[in-house]
A and B are shown apart, each in its own frame.
Chain A
Amino acid sequence: MENKTKKKVNKIFEKIISVFMILILVMAPVSVSFSFSSIEVSAQEQRGCCLDTGPPSNKQCVTTTKAECQGRFYTGPPYDCSNIPDCKPQTCIPKNKKEPCMRNKAAAECIAIGGVPDPRALEEIPQCKPGCCIIAKGVKAEVLQYRQCEELTKTLGYDLSMMEFKEGIVDEVECKKIGSPYDLGCCVLGGGDCRYGTRASCTEGSFVPLAGGLFCRDVAACALTSHSYKDCGKLPGTETDIYWFDSQGNQEDLAESCNYPEAICEKSELGTVYCKSTRCDLSAAKGSQKMSERPPKVEVTELPTTSLLTGTSICYNFYTHYGDNRMLERSTGLQNQILHCNFGKVEIEGLGTDRQKLCVPATVSDESPGATFHANVKENKWQNCSQCGKGGALDFLGDFVGPFPPVGRGLNALFGEYCTKEACENYGDCVYMEKTPSLLVTAPVASCVPKYPPGTASLHTSATECGKCGGGVADLWNLCSKEECLALGDCQFRSYGTVEKWAIGALLTYSSFIVGRIVWIPVDCLIAGPTVYAKAGGIPTCYKLRYNSWWFKSITEPFKLISWIAKNPLASVTTIITTASAFMGLFQKIK
């Protein structure tokens, strides 16, 4: 019986094992393939530097996954190809000579487009040097690189000996003036056809030299009507003015000077030509913001001009709404801008709503093209303003005793770094915001804040920056004011409630009384020690009594102060002075 049961159990056990073995056999290849495929996927998804993605995208030296890379693939770090010699930035000399040399192209990319990478700087490569390219004594005058000049000369069908290259001249107008054609005349093509131009350009006809206001119309062999229509000058150096043209399209004498850069010849879509003013009309601009003497208050100032010449620029700045009734909300989105004038169109260069870049008028020392107005960019160095007066190990103590006479200022300086107006301004674009003035020997309550409130749009520390409000000199007594709040950046001021104000006021008054007493004890005991406490032990006894008696009592039993004041008139007077100074600060805060 027992044997039978055992056999049955064994059979069941064998069955279970066999099923388990089958499962292992079935699952093993699946799991192995799964594990291999996951390795494959992770390898394919690994990012690194790809030397060439291959067709169709054909990108060289890009950070991508191995799956998207057909060329050599380098795993990082660094992942951005910076340590791959083939991706080193070099000057690229393209294969097509019509194209200019390009700076800092990855060598592999340059080679991929058939170019030649050159480790030298662009200016050091003779064929890449920019300059004024004058072809055939003024048939063409353009600012190009040397190799492009050579190519253009050949394309126009001239021998390279007809090419003149004036290195370093990169001003289009200057180049065209230098390259303005001379040796002008009329090319008689026969059958009454004529073409006005240089001797060099007359390859298909007989050249009749002309000078002193003579044109093809003065040549008998030319059958044409003079002053047929007006157009912008076509010959190099004449493009800015309006000229007469004959019926065969030959340029004749000047019809109207546009007095460039004031105006330039323009052809409308209907084909009529006119002198188009290059000036930009700024009369619609309402005015820019300027920081007042007491930032963050701003003043709205008129723009320095209502009409801007082409190629010049002015600042158009916005910092905060404070003091400017046109804007009633916080300073989100406000930025410094540069308005550039480009042939009657105003181009806006926004310097960022984080206000890390500021627009300032260019100084005289700046090399300025043209004349009059130019704007420049400077960095807003506000980041270290809040560091003024910080850094000492015992800052807390210094800040605590700072506003109290007679030794507040001295103790403040002793316990930590002391922030003055001069020190604050040395921290960058910072301004000293005094809340309670210094009374001879007391430290003021003040903050060192950014002169130009930074925007906090893209700053990760916006909350931290706004939270620094009321954290300046004597920051225990420094309450956050609206001015300071707005000066710190894109912050919103929330004023204290009436109950809050009186609670803080009472606490401050009481604290200042106590602190006032503490800081006056040395003076008090210098007088009372040798007189009142002469018999009881002098100054040490005075100290002991002062610290052990009323100090603790005034904390635990404030009403005892009244009886103490009645008994100690001298000490009371000094304490009242101290309290008054604290009140002044408080009053300013509440106001």
Chain B
Amino acid sequence: MRKRGKKGQVTLFIIIAIVVVSIALLVIFLWPQISGLFMSKEAAEQYLATQAIQLQKTISECIEKESLRAFDIIGKQAGYYDKTGLRTLYFAGNDYVVVMFKNEAKQRINKLPSLGQIENEYQLFLVKEGNEAIDKCINLAAFKRNMNVDAGERKINAMIYPDVIILNVDWPIKLSKTTTQGTVEKLINQQQIMLLLPFGNLWRTANTIVDCETRVDCNFEGIEWDRDIWNNPFRSQYISKEARSLNKDQIVFILESSPYRPGELPHKFNFAIDRS
């Protein structure tokens, strides 16, 4: 009888311990929400303002990081993210997209994408992998622990300029926090992001080369190369070129920007031409 009574006591203590630990864990886990409930309206507004800055900074950094990765891929693939249907030349472990070739009718075809097409390729990157990577990087769930985050549709447009790429981010986000005194809301949108990347100048150099190669009487080698440097000193200063001939008709061009601004990184634009 006594034995049974002791056993019952032990069981009761265990149950009480489990309940206490569970409540403690729940409180720890939900503390931001619980503590927020007892905030004053002013404190909640202040809190949202701080969180908004933090969120904007995170969003900006994540979009910048992923966009730099996108333009790195796009640059190394002659302005394309998706190489489907494009000709390539294999050289030293890499495939280079052929942006000038002769078709079977011996007509020279220019496949260098325009800046508008490159901006569309960036959109393709976002659809295929960029948006997912940005979401993973921002990790909205972490912010949602402290407040309500109601994110709208995100649109990112890239505008390529000679020295920079401007990203216009349209992503309205409504932040809110419920307190005992009522609900505080804050609507934020994103600022423009500037990538220190002379993509426009890299493209212009590539366009000069391809423009010459699509002409019957022009080969971009020797004196034409010198002429480009001579005629375009302000563009050429920060862009270096390298050419490797696979044979007399197939040439791989590797363009690389030289950083000249704090925080800028070198960037490549690779492509090939095929005169055969």
Contacts and interface: CB of A to CB of B under 8 A. Distances in A.
Nearest to A315: B222
A104 B246 CA distance: 24
Contacts of A77: 104
A310 interface: yes
A149 B97 CA distance: 31
B227 A369 contact: yes
What range describes how many residues of A lie at the interface?
35 or more
A88 to B, nearest CB: 7
A102 B244 CA distance: 25
A349 B233 contact: no
B2 interface: no
Interface residues of B, number: 56
Interface stretch (B20-28, B150-158, B184-192, B255-263): B255-263
Interface string A443-467: 0000000000000001000000000
A80 B104 contact: yes
A170 interface: yes
A56 B128 contact: yes
B247 A352 contact: yes
B84 A354 contact: no
A170 B114 contact: no
A85 to B, nearest CB: 12
A89 interface: yes
Interface in B102-120: 103-105, 107-110, 112, 114-117, 120
B230 A370 contact: yes
Interface in A226-270: 239-240, 260-261, 264, 267, 269
A64 B233 contact: no
A104 B229 contact: no
B260 A102 contact: no
Contacts of A541: none
A293 B61 CA distance: 64
With a 10 A CB-CB cut-off, give which of A95, A264, A310, A342 has the most chain B CB atoms. Answer: A342
A313 B226 contact: yes
Contact of A56 (B124, B233, B240): B124
Interface string B75-94: 00000001011100000000
A103 interface: yes
A68 B85 contact: yes
B245 interface: yes
Contacts of B142: none
A542 B84 CA distance: 83
B116 A94 contact: yes
B102 to A, nearest CB: 9
B127 interface: yes
Contacts of A56: 82, 124, 127-128
B108 to A, nearest CB: 5
B5 to A, nearest CB: 73
Interface in A84-116: 88-89, 92, 94-96, 98-100, 102-106, 113-115
A318 interface: no
B112 A374 contact: no
In this complex, the member of B112, B124, B231 whose beta carbon has the largest number of chain A beta carbons within 10 angstroms is B231
A78 B84 contact: no
A340 to B, nearest CB: 5
Contacts of A57: 82, 84-85, 124
A282 to B, nearest CB: 15
A62 B223 contact: no
B169 to A, nearest CB: 21
Contacts of A370: 226, 230
Contact of B223 (A94, A143, A374): A374
A68 B110 contact: no
Contact of A83 (B100, B105, B117, B235): B105
Contact of B107 (A88, A173, A269, A352): A88
A370 B227 CA distance: 9
B243 A350 contact: yes
Contacts of B215: 103
A64 B82 CA distance: 14
Contacts of B178: none
A172 B85 contact: no
A340 B114 contact: no
A193 interface: no
A66 to B, nearest CB: 12
A61 B109 CA distance: 10
A82 interface: yes
A340 B85 contact: no
A62 B240 contact: no
Given A99-B114, A102-B112, A376-B222, A267 B243 contact: no
A171 interface: yes
Contacts of B241: 340, 342, 347, 349
Contact of B226 (A98, A240, A312): A312
A122 B108 CA distance: 14
A50 B85 contact: yes
Contact of A349 (B214, B225, B232): B225
A379 interface: yes
A98 B120 CA distance: 16
A311 B229 contact: yes
A240 B237 CA distance: 12
Interface in A357-381: 357, 359, 362, 366-370, 374-377, 379
A102 B223 contact: no
B3 interface: no
Contact of A104 (B107, B127, B247): B107
A457 to B, nearest CB: 9
A46 to B, nearest CB: 14
Contacts of A173: 233
A356 B240 contact: no
B219 interface: yes
Interface in B234-276: 234-237, 240-248, 258-262
B64 to A, nearest CB: 19
A98 B116 CA distance: 10
Contacts of B107: 82, 88-89, 104
Contacts of A341: 229
A81 B237 CA distance: 39
A590 interface: no
A102 B262 contact: no
Contacts of A481: none
B114 A362 contact: no
Interface string B197-211: 000000000010011
A89 B245 CA distance: 25
Contacts of A58: 120, 124
A390 interface: no
Nearest to A95: B116
A171 B230 contact: yes
Given A102-B114, A342-B241, 19 more contacts: A56-B124, A62-B84, A68-B85, A88-B107, A89-B108, A94-B116, A102-B110, A103-B210, A113-B116, A170-B231, A264-B233, A264-B237, A312-B226, A313-B225, A343-B237, A352-B246, A357-B245, A357-B248, A359-B222
20 contacts: A57-B124, A64-B84, A89-B109, A94-B116, A96-B115, A103-B210, A113-B114, A113-B117, A170-B231, A172-B233, A311-B233, A340-B226, A342-B237, A347-B241, A349-B221, A350-B243, A350-B245, A352-B244, A377-B221, A458-B247
